[in-house]
Amino acid sequence: MITAGMVKELREKTGAGMMDCKRALTEAEGDMEKAVEILREKGLASAAKKSGRIAAEGLVESYIHGAGRIGVLVEVNCETDFVAKTDEFRELCRDIAMQVAASRPEYVAREEISEEFIAKEREINRAQALNEGKPEKIVDKVVDGRMEKYFKEICLLEQPFIKDSDKTVQQLITEKIAKIGENISVRRFARFQVGEGMEKRTCDLASEVQEMLNKK
C-alpha cells in the first residue's frame, strides 16, 4: 500500500510532483529507490529542480474557436528565445490556449486565489454539508474533498488536460520541462466569449428599471 508518508518522502528526495511520486511508487510496488530511478529516467526529478529558474522569454499565443465566438490569449514563459521559437514549445502554447478555451479556468494556479475567497467557499461548503446531514466529525474531510474538486475546476494547472485526461496541465508542462531542459511557466491568460455576461447585465438593468418604476 502506497501511503501519504511514502509519497512525501519521495517528493522530498526528488522534488517531483505528488502525483508523479505516487505513480512512480505504484509502478515500483513501494520500492523507494526504484521509484527514484523511475522518476530520474522520466526526467521528472530534474524537471522539478528547473522549475525554480527564471523564465523571462516565451510567447503570447492566441486561439480562436467557433468562427470567432471564443478567443484566448495566453502568455507562456521559458528561459531562452531559442526554445520559444521551437515547434515543440509553440505546440505546448497552442495546447494551453485550447485548454483555456475549452475548460474556462478562472486562475492559473490556486496560489492566486485570495485567502478570503477560499475561507468563504469553505464556509459555504461546510454549511451545505451540515444541511445535507453529514456528521460533524467528517464535515471537515467532506469540505476538503469538495474544495480540491473545486480547485481542479477553476485552476488551469490542476485541470485534466483536454487531449489526455490522465494527466493535468501541470503534468504536461513538467514533462515538457524534462524534455526541453528549460523551466516553463504559464504567466497569465485571458478568455473572451461573444455575449458572455450580457444576459446578466440585461437582467440587472431590467431589475433597476422595475425598481425605479415601483418608486414612482
* Domain extent listing, the chain: 1-50, 54-109+155-204, 114-151
* pTM over 0.75, yes/no: no
Q: What is the CATH number of domain 114-151?
A: 1.10.286
Alpha-carbon gap, residue 138 to 149, rounded angstroms: 17
pLDDT along the chain (216 residues), means of 10: 84 72 90 85 65 76 91 94 93 96 94 92 92 88 93 95 93 88 91 79 54 55
The reply to whether 114-151 shares the fold of 54-109+155-204 is no
Which homologous superfamily does the CATH classification assign to the domain defined by 1-50?
Answer: Ubiquitin-associated (UBA) domain (1.10.8.10)
All three cell numbers of 133 = 446531514
What per-residue confidence (pLDDT) applies to 199? 62
Nearest to 101 by CA among 184, 167, 190: 190
| Overall fold of domain 54-109+155-204 | Tetrahydropterin Synthase; Chain A (3.30.479)
Residue 73, beta-bridge partner list: 62, 190
